Amino acid sequence: MRVLVLLATGCTLGGTGKPPGGGDQGSGIDLAKCKAALASAPIAPAGFDYHDALPTAVHNTWDGKTLPQPNDPSYPGGHYRTIAPDATGAIHAGCTTAGLMYTPAAIPGYPCAAQDFGFPPGVVEDTTKPIVILVHGNSDTPAGYMKFLAANPASLDFQADTVARDQLADLLPAQGFRTIAIDMRTDKVDDAPSPENTDTGNTPLNSDHGWTVPLIEELVRDVAIAYPDRQISLVGFSLGATAVRDAVRRLWVEYMDKTWDVNIFTRLSAVVLASGAHHGVSTFSAECGLNFTMRGTVTCEMGERNGYTETTFARPLDGPALPTSDGSFGGWWETPCADGDYAYGTRGNCGGHVVAYTTITMQDLPNGTQQDEFVSEAASRIYPLDCANNLLDALTDFDTSGYFYNGYFRNHFGSVRSDAGLAKVVAALGGM
């Protein structure tokens, strides 16, 4: 069954809430074509396992002062941290509500930080719609999904907004969607900063999948348990895109391994992946193997954008390569349950439930290079192509708000903060 439906009730709960810049995209998928594309997908392919490739961290915390050495088993970077206490009693350093400037979302059983965006006056929750979970990118917070206006728009080196535009934190609640943004606590990243005149530390407070994925996994699980009759839709931006995919994989593995009785794919409506580095990131060669903090480990997990080779982290996520028309890498496992049947080299483990996948990224330049600061069209799209609605924003569809270092990464943020990007996200979620 397909659960991504356009509900007219959205209009009665506060209008369309839709930004200018795009029409209704829908799921964009022909289910029959997706089923045909996956008909020849390999079952239990040799050399591939849907279980974790990254190890579990021995310690959940680091001292924030010491630069890790290569292959230090006590360093948690490049490992999945745990919400449960480690041998010393320490939990994941990012699972805390201490020091928040907002009231954390009240979700039964969820101990970490998230922000629940309220409804505007006159609008109530439409419980027929999925609960939407927003996942921010690296070195960011839930503010990445909120309105922003630069203090001095005229000082920026592009034509910046002079009036704050509505963002997903406004648009989705206006249509009756309960909207929760995880906060992966960039401020609690426990790596050492770089010594002066070096790039060997983690001054920008980057995190890797070992930091982000367990937090997302915990939130999605707890929302699924707390609201057993509701569907869930996920939006992941930048690092959040690959982290969302990996968190869903790990939750499904819990079901397959019989450590959780819920098949997460029966609860997912739509998965929207914006500016994701599914097949490489531009910073790989500058950081991977040279910086041993999470600033480096995250790029090793993502791989090289130009000339991508599947990484160890990605193998259980993407699976074996499938044929592509242009020779770019694409994996058979990248759209699990898009046909209601095939997931991670298995069949019959979707509960008959179809999940709608959408990717959004900025188009490449005509000469084949990228205006997006981190990813490319090939890096961001997922496969099989008939099982995902891989959408492109135009080169002019960048974020004009000046958010994040005066809009320094405005092209990258365009997929979730430009009017065109916002319209695509809202439509992919079943909004108007």
Element housing 244 (H / E):
helix 239-256
DSSP 350: S
Query: 342-343 and 346-347 as β-strands: parallel, antiparallel, unpaired?
Result: antiparallel
Q: What is the rounded CA–CA span in Å between residue 77 and residue 212? A: 11
Mean pLDDT for the stretch of residues 131-160: 98
Q: What is the rounded CA–CA span in Å between residue 383 and residue 386? A: 7
Judge whether 397 and 372 are in contact, CB under 8 Å: no
| Domain ranges (residues) in the chain | 9-428
Determine the distance from the C-alpha atom of residue 122 to the mean position of all C-alpha atoms in its chain, rounded to a whole number: 31
% of residues, the chain, pLDDT over 70 = 94
* Whether the predicted pLDDT of 14 surpasses 90: no
Q: What is the rounded CA–CA span in Å between residue 377 and residue 273? A: 13
Mean pLDDT for the stretch of residues 143-170: 98
* Residue with token string 């356009």: 6
Task: Tell me the per-residue pLDDT of 77-88, one tens digit each, with 9 for 90 and over.
Answer: 999 999 999 999
- pLDDT at residue number 26: 53
Please state, as a whole number, how many other Cβ atoms lie within 10 Å of the Cβ of residue 147: 16
* 23 or 38: which leads in pLDDT: 38
- Mean pLDDT, the chain, integer: 94
Element housing 358 (H / E):
strand 356-362
* Whether the predicted pLDDT of 8 surpasses 60: no
Q: What is the rounded CA–CA span in Å between residue 208 and residue 294? A: 5
Mean pLDDT for the stretch of residues 334-358: 98
DSSP-based three-state secondary structure for 383: coil
**374-406: string of b/e by CB count within 10 Å (b at 16+)?**
bbbbbbbbbbbbbbbbbbbbeeebbbbbbbbeb
Lowest mean pLDDT among 2-16, 202-216, 385-399: 2-16
Task: Tell me the per-residue pLDDT of 93-140, one tens digit each, with 9 for 90 and over.
Answer: 999 999 999 999 999 999 999 999 999 999 999 999 999 999 999 999
Mean pLDDT for the stretch of residues 345-367: 98
The DSSP-derived string for 48-111 is --SS-SSPBPS-S---SSSPPPTT-TT--TTSB--SS--TTS---TT---TT-SSPPP--TT--
- pLDDT at residue number 15: 33
Please state, as a whole number, how many other Cβ atoms lie within 10 Å of the Cβ of residue 1: 8
Task: Tell me the per-residue pLDDT of 359-399, one tens digit each, with 9 for 90 and over.
Answer: 999 999 999 999 999 999 999 999 999 999 999 999 999 99
Judge whether 54 and 80 are in contact, CB under 8 Å: yes
- pLDDT at residue number 9: 29
Mean pLDDT for the stretch of residues 28-38: 96
CA dihedral 340→343→348→352, nearest 10 degrees, is: -20
Peptide bond preceding 384 in cis form (omega within 30 of 0): yes
- Strand boundaries in 4-56, DSSP class E: none
Mean pLDDT for the stretch of residues 22-34: 72
CATH fold of 9-428, please?
Rossmann fold (3.40.50)
Task: Tell me the per-residue pLDDT of 35-68, one tens digit each, with 9 for 90 and over.
Answer: 999 999 999 999 999 999 999 999 999 999 999 9
- pLDDT at residue number 146: 98
Judge whether 170 and 36 are in contact, CB under 8 Å: no
**215-248: string of b/e by CB count within 10 Å (b at 16+)?**
bbbbbbbbbbeebeebbbbbbbbbbbbbbbbbbb
Judge whether 216 and 244 are in contact, CB under 8 Å: yes
Element housing 296 (H / E):
helix 294-302
Element housing 294 (H / E):
helix 294-302
Predicted confidence band of residue 432 (pLDDT cuts 50, 70, 90) = confident
Angle at 183 between CA 107 and CA 158, to 5 degrees: 140
Using CA atoms, how far residue 275 sits from 137, 380, 409, in Å, is: 9, 6, 11
